[in-house]
Protein backbone atom coordinates (compact mmCIF):
# COMPACT_ATOMS: atom_id res chain seq x y z
CA UNK A 1 0.00 0.00 0.00
CA UNK A 2 1.30 3.46 -0.87
CA UNK A 3 2.09 5.82 1.96
CA UNK A 4 0.42 9.23 2.13
CA UNK A 5 3.58 10.95 0.88
CA UNK A 6 3.87 8.54 -2.04
CA UNK A 7 0.21 9.04 -2.96
CA UNK A 8 0.44 12.83 -2.82
CA UNK A 9 3.69 12.78 -4.76
CA UNK A 10 2.06 10.66 -7.45
CA UNK A 11 -0.56 13.38 -7.92
CA UNK A 12 1.99 16.17 -7.67
CA UNK A 13 0.22 17.45 -4.56
CA UNK A 14 2.68 16.68 -1.79
CA UNK A 15 2.83 19.33 0.93
CA UNK A 16 5.70 21.79 0.84
CA UNK A 17 9.06 20.08 0.44
CA UNK A 18 11.38 22.97 -0.06
CA UNK A 19 14.48 21.28 -1.48
CA UNK A 20 14.26 21.56 -5.25
CA UNK A 21 14.61 18.26 -7.08
CA UNK A 22 16.31 17.91 -10.42
CA UNK A 23 15.06 15.07 -12.60
CA UNK A 24 16.62 14.15 -15.91
CA UNK A 25 13.18 13.01 -17.07
CA UNK A 26 11.54 16.36 -16.28
CA UNK A 27 9.62 17.84 -19.20
CA UNK A 28 10.93 21.04 -20.77
CA UNK A 29 7.56 21.99 -22.24
CA UNK A 30 6.84 25.30 -20.51
CA UNK A 31 3.25 25.55 -21.77
CA UNK A 32 0.51 25.81 -19.16
CA UNK A 33 -3.24 26.39 -19.13
CA UNK A 34 -4.09 27.97 -15.79
CA UNK A 35 -2.70 29.04 -12.44
CA UNK A 36 -3.36 27.33 -9.13
CA UNK A 37 -3.24 29.67 -6.16
CA UNK A 38 -2.72 27.28 -3.26
CA UNK A 39 -3.36 28.28 0.35
CA UNK A 40 -2.70 25.83 3.16
CA UNK A 41 -3.86 25.58 6.75
CA UNK A 42 -0.63 25.95 8.77
CA UNK A 43 -1.69 23.58 11.54
CA UNK A 44 -2.26 20.69 9.13
CA UNK A 45 1.01 21.55 7.44
CA UNK A 46 2.71 21.35 10.83
CA UNK A 47 1.08 18.00 11.66
CA UNK A 48 2.52 16.50 8.48
CA UNK A 49 5.92 18.12 9.11
CA UNK A 50 6.12 16.68 12.63
CA UNK A 51 5.01 13.26 11.42
CA UNK A 52 8.12 13.19 9.25
CA UNK A 53 10.35 13.83 12.25
CA UNK A 54 9.28 14.53 15.84
CA UNK A 55 12.20 16.96 16.17
CA UNK A 56 10.80 19.25 13.47
CA UNK A 57 9.45 22.61 14.66
CA UNK A 58 6.82 24.93 13.24
CA UNK A 59 5.93 28.59 12.88
CA UNK A 60 2.15 28.92 12.85
CA UNK A 61 0.48 32.29 12.19
CA UNK A 62 -2.69 32.57 14.23
CA UNK A 63 -6.01 32.43 12.48
CA UNK A 64 -5.07 32.74 8.80
CA UNK A 65 -4.50 30.45 5.86
CA UNK A 66 -1.11 31.09 4.30
CA UNK A 67 0.19 30.91 0.74
CA UNK A 68 1.70 27.67 -0.46
CA UNK A 69 2.33 28.88 -3.97
CA UNK A 70 1.20 30.09 -7.38
CA UNK A 71 1.55 27.13 -9.73
CA UNK A 72 1.33 27.27 -13.52
CA UNK A 73 -0.51 24.07 -14.43
CA UNK A 74 -1.51 22.06 -17.47
CA UNK A 75 -5.01 20.64 -17.75
CA UNK A 76 -5.32 17.20 -16.15
CA UNK A 77 -1.61 16.99 -15.37
CA UNK A 78 1.08 18.80 -13.40
CA UNK A 79 3.83 21.20 -14.30
CA UNK A 80 5.61 22.77 -15.95
CA UNK A 81 8.37 23.03 -13.33
CA UNK A 82 11.80 24.67 -13.18
CA UNK A 83 11.32 26.49 -16.49
CA UNK A 84 14.42 28.71 -16.35
CA UNK A 85 17.25 27.55 -14.11
CA UNK A 86 19.22 30.71 -14.90
CA UNK A 87 16.68 32.76 -12.88
CA UNK A 88 18.09 32.01 -9.45
CA UNK A 89 16.29 33.14 -6.32
CA UNK A 90 17.59 36.43 -4.95
CA UNK A 91 16.23 37.29 -1.47
CA UNK A 92 17.37 40.92 -1.75
CA UNK A 93 14.63 41.52 -4.31
CA UNK A 94 12.01 40.76 -1.68
CA UNK A 95 13.29 43.21 0.94
CA UNK A 96 10.40 45.71 0.41
CA UNK A 97 7.77 43.03 1.13
CA UNK A 98 9.66 40.81 3.56
CA UNK A 99 7.36 41.48 6.52
CA UNK A 100 4.27 40.78 4.41
CA UNK A 101 5.83 37.59 3.08
CA UNK A 102 6.53 36.32 6.57
CA UNK A 103 2.91 37.01 7.53
CA UNK A 104 1.16 35.74 4.39
CA UNK A 105 3.59 33.32 2.71
CA UNK A 106 4.91 31.82 5.92
CA UNK A 107 7.52 29.08 6.05
CA UNK A 108 5.74 26.88 8.57
CA UNK A 109 8.78 24.58 8.70
CA UNK A 110 10.68 26.60 11.26
CA UNK A 111 13.80 24.44 11.34
CA UNK A 112 14.54 24.89 7.63
CA UNK A 113 16.54 27.69 5.99
CA UNK A 114 15.21 31.22 6.25
CA UNK A 115 14.61 31.55 2.51
CA UNK A 116 14.39 27.87 1.53
CA UNK A 117 10.61 27.79 1.05
CA UNK A 118 10.48 30.91 -1.11
CA UNK A 119 13.54 29.78 -3.08
CA UNK A 120 11.82 26.50 -3.86
CA UNK A 121 8.55 28.13 -4.92
CA UNK A 122 10.27 30.70 -7.15
CA UNK A 123 12.65 28.33 -8.90
CA UNK A 124 10.11 25.53 -9.38
CA UNK A 125 6.96 27.55 -10.16
CA UNK A 126 7.80 31.25 -10.41
CA UNK A 127 10.22 30.76 -13.30
CA UNK A 128 7.34 29.22 -15.26
CA UNK A 129 4.86 31.96 -14.33
CA UNK A 130 7.29 34.55 -15.74
CA UNK A 131 5.72 34.30 -19.19
CA UNK A 132 2.85 36.39 -17.78
CA UNK A 133 3.56 40.11 -17.53
CA UNK A 134 2.05 40.55 -14.03
CA UNK A 135 4.31 37.74 -12.74
CA UNK A 136 7.45 38.25 -14.80
CA UNK A 137 9.79 39.10 -11.91
CA UNK A 138 10.50 37.53 -8.56
CA UNK A 139 9.06 40.59 -6.80
CA UNK A 140 5.84 40.56 -8.84
CA UNK A 141 5.35 36.83 -8.32
CA UNK A 142 5.52 36.99 -4.53
CA UNK A 143 3.65 40.29 -4.34
CA UNK A 144 0.76 38.70 -6.26
CA UNK A 145 0.62 35.86 -3.74
CA UNK A 146 0.34 38.35 -0.89
CA UNK A 147 -2.37 40.28 -2.76
CA UNK A 148 -4.44 37.17 -3.41
CA UNK A 149 -4.02 35.98 0.17
CA UNK A 150 -5.51 39.28 1.34
CA UNK A 151 -8.19 39.27 -1.36
CA UNK A 152 -9.30 35.69 -0.70
CA UNK A 153 -9.09 35.23 3.10
CA UNK A 154 -10.13 31.62 3.54
CA UNK A 155 -10.39 31.86 7.32
CA UNK A 156 -13.09 34.51 6.92
CA UNK A 157 -14.85 32.66 4.10
CA UNK A 158 -15.08 29.52 6.23
CA UNK A 159 -15.89 31.32 9.48
CA UNK A 160 -18.73 33.25 7.84
CA UNK A 161 -20.23 29.90 6.85
CA UNK A 162 -19.95 28.59 10.41
CA UNK A 163 -16.87 26.48 9.68
CA UNK A 164 -14.39 26.97 12.50
CA UNK A 165 -11.31 25.04 13.68
CA UNK A 166 -11.80 22.23 16.14
CA UNK A 167 -14.80 20.61 14.40
CA UNK A 168 -15.52 18.13 11.61
CA UNK A 169 -17.28 19.04 8.35
CA UNK A 170 -18.33 17.52 5.05
CA UNK A 171 -16.53 18.19 1.79
CA UNK A 172 -19.63 19.95 0.47
CA UNK A 173 -19.85 22.31 3.46
CA UNK A 174 -16.25 23.41 2.97
CA UNK A 175 -16.46 23.53 -0.82
CA UNK A 176 -19.68 25.56 -0.84
CA UNK A 177 -18.36 28.04 1.74
CA UNK A 178 -15.49 28.95 -0.56
CA UNK A 179 -17.31 28.67 -3.88
CA UNK A 180 -19.98 31.09 -2.67
CA UNK A 181 -17.28 33.74 -2.15
CA UNK A 182 -15.70 33.17 -5.56
CA UNK A 183 -18.72 34.16 -7.61
CA UNK A 184 -19.61 30.53 -8.21
CA UNK A 185 -16.16 29.49 -9.42
CA UNK A 186 -15.15 26.06 -8.16
CA UNK A 187 -12.16 25.72 -5.83
CA UNK A 188 -10.29 22.50 -5.05
CA UNK A 189 -10.24 21.17 -1.49
CA UNK A 190 -7.39 18.95 -0.37
CA UNK A 191 -7.32 16.71 2.69
CA UNK A 192 -4.48 14.93 4.43
CA UNK A 193 -4.43 11.88 6.67
CA UNK A 194 -3.32 12.46 10.26
CA UNK A 195 -1.72 9.16 11.27
CA UNK A 196 -1.53 9.98 14.98
CA UNK A 197 -5.25 10.72 15.31
CA UNK A 198 -6.53 8.49 12.47
CA UNK A 199 -8.51 11.27 10.80
CA UNK A 200 -8.63 13.18 7.51
CA UNK A 201 -7.71 16.81 8.10
CA UNK A 202 -8.40 19.90 6.02
CA UNK A 203 -5.03 20.74 4.48
CA UNK A 204 -5.21 23.02 1.45
CA UNK A 205 -7.68 24.95 -0.69
CA UNK A 206 -6.80 25.90 -4.26
CA UNK A 207 -8.30 28.82 -6.16
CA UNK A 208 -7.72 28.78 -9.91
CA UNK A 209 -7.05 31.62 -12.33
CA UNK A 210 -6.85 31.99 -16.08
CA UNK A 211 -3.66 33.42 -17.55
CA UNK A 212 -5.43 36.78 -17.54
CA UNK A 213 -5.52 36.42 -13.72
CA UNK A 214 -9.31 36.14 -13.82
CA UNK A 215 -10.99 33.51 -11.64
CA UNK A 216 -11.83 30.18 -13.22
CA UNK A 217 -12.92 26.70 -12.10
CA UNK A 218 -10.37 24.24 -10.73
CA UNK A 219 -12.01 21.19 -12.37
CA UNK A 220 -9.27 20.89 -15.05
CA UNK A 221 -6.42 20.42 -12.54
CA UNK A 222 -5.10 16.94 -11.89
CA UNK A 223 -7.35 15.27 -9.32
CA UNK A 224 -10.20 17.73 -9.88
CA UNK A 225 -11.85 19.66 -7.07
CA UNK A 226 -11.80 16.90 -4.43
CA UNK A 227 -8.25 15.95 -3.50
CA UNK A 228 -8.27 12.98 -1.09
CA UNK A 229 -11.25 14.19 0.96
CA UNK A 230 -14.17 12.02 2.16
CA UNK A 231 -17.02 12.93 -0.14
CA UNK A 232 -20.16 12.46 1.93
CA UNK A 233 -19.63 11.86 5.65
CA UNK A 234 -18.82 14.66 8.07
CA UNK A 235 -15.30 13.36 8.59
CA UNK A 236 -12.99 16.22 7.59
CA UNK A 237 -11.36 17.62 10.71
CA UNK A 238 -10.35 21.30 10.72
CA UNK A 239 -7.61 21.32 13.41
CA UNK A 240 -7.17 24.20 15.81
CA UNK A 241 -4.10 26.37 15.34
CA UNK A 242 -3.46 26.36 19.09
CA UNK A 243 -2.55 22.69 18.88
CA UNK A 244 1.14 23.47 18.39
CA UNK A 245 1.46 27.16 19.24
CA UNK A 246 0.18 26.99 22.78
CA UNK A 247 2.48 26.29 25.67
CA UNK A 248 1.56 23.24 27.76
CA UNK A 249 -1.46 24.03 29.89
CA UNK A 250 -0.62 21.83 32.89
CA UNK A 251 2.16 24.04 34.39
CA UNK A 252 -0.17 27.05 34.32
CA UNK A 253 -3.01 25.12 35.93
CA UNK A 254 -0.63 23.86 38.60
CA UNK A 255 0.57 27.40 39.29
CA UNK A 256 -3.01 28.67 39.64
CA UNK A 257 -3.90 25.82 41.99
CA UNK A 258 -0.81 26.52 44.08
CA UNK A 259 -1.45 30.26 44.33
CA UNK A 260 -5.20 30.07 44.89
CA UNK A 261 -5.53 26.97 47.05
CA UNK A 262 -2.34 25.46 48.39
CA UNK A 263 -0.63 28.72 49.35
CA UNK A 264 -3.58 30.15 51.35
CA UNK A 265 -4.16 26.80 53.10
CA UNK A 266 -0.50 26.57 53.98
CA UNK A 267 -0.57 30.10 55.32
CA UNK A 268 -3.56 29.31 57.53
CA UNK A 269 -1.86 26.21 58.93
CA UNK A 270 1.30 28.16 59.77
CA UNK A 271 -0.79 30.92 61.32
CA UNK A 272 -2.68 28.47 63.58
CA UNK A 273 0.52 26.75 64.71
CA UNK A 274 2.08 30.11 65.54
CA UNK A 275 -0.97 31.32 67.49
CA UNK A 276 -1.19 28.03 69.40
CA UNK A 277 2.43 28.26 70.50
CA UNK A 278 1.98 31.93 71.39
CA UNK A 279 -0.96 31.10 73.67
CA UNK A 280 1.02 28.36 75.36
CA UNK A 281 3.83 30.83 76.09
CA UNK A 282 1.53 33.55 77.40
CA UNK A 283 -0.50 31.30 79.71
CA UNK A 284 2.24 29.17 81.22
CA UNK A 285 1.95 29.22 85.10
CA UNK A 286 4.65 31.23 86.89
- What is the DSSP secondary-structure string of 236-275? EEE--THHHHSPPHHHHHHHHHIIIIIHHHHHHHHHHHHH
Q: What is the pLDDT of residue 264?
A: 66
Question: What architecture is the 4-245 domain classified under in CATH?
Answer: Alpha-Beta Complex (3.90)
Q: Which residues, including other chains, have CB under 8 Å from residue 6's CB and lie 6 or more apart?
A: none
Enumerate the H helices of the chain as residue ranges: 4-11, 42-52, 98-104, 116-121, 127-129, 138-151, 154-160, 171-179, 242-245, 249-257, 263-282
Q: What is the pLDDT of residue 283?
A: 47
Residue 65 per-residue DSSP state: -
Q: What is the pLDDT of residue 29?
A: 76
With contact defined as beta carbons under 8 Å apart, do 171 and 14 qualify? no
Q: Which residues are catalytic?
A: 68, 121, 125
For the chain, what are the domain ranges? 4-245, 250-286
How far is it, in rounded angstroms, from Cα 119 to Cα 68? 12
Q: What is the pLDDT of residue 234?
A: 87
With contact defined as beta carbons under 8 Å apart, do 235 and 200 qualify? yes
Q: Burial letters for 107-129: b for 16+ Cβ neighbours within 10 Å, e otherwise?
A: bbbeebeebbbbbbbbbbbbbbb
Q: What is the pLDDT of residue 257?
A: 43
| Digitized pLDDT (tens) for each residue of the chain, 286 residues in all | 444 444 444 444 444 444 333 333 344 678 999 999 999 999 999 999 999 999 999 999 989 999 999 999 999 999 999 999 999 999 999 999 999 999 999 999 999 999 999 999 999 999 999 999 999 999 999 999 999 999 999 999 999 999 999 999 999 999 999 999 999 999 999 999 998 889 999 999 999 999 999 999 999 999 999 999 998 888 999 999 766 543 333 443 444 445 456 666 666 777 676 555 655 554 454 4
Q: What is the pLDDT of residue 263?
A: 62
Q: What is the pLDDT of residue 138?
A: 98
Amino acid sequence: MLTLSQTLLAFGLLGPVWTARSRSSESHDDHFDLLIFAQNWPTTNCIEWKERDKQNTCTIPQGIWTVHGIWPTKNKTIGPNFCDRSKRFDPTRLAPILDDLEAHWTNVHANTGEYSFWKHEWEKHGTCAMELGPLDTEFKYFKQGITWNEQYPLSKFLNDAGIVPGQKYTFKEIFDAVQNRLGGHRPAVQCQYDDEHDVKTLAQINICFEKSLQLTDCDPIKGGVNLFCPRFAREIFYPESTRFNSAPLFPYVLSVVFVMIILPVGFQIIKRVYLHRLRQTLYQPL
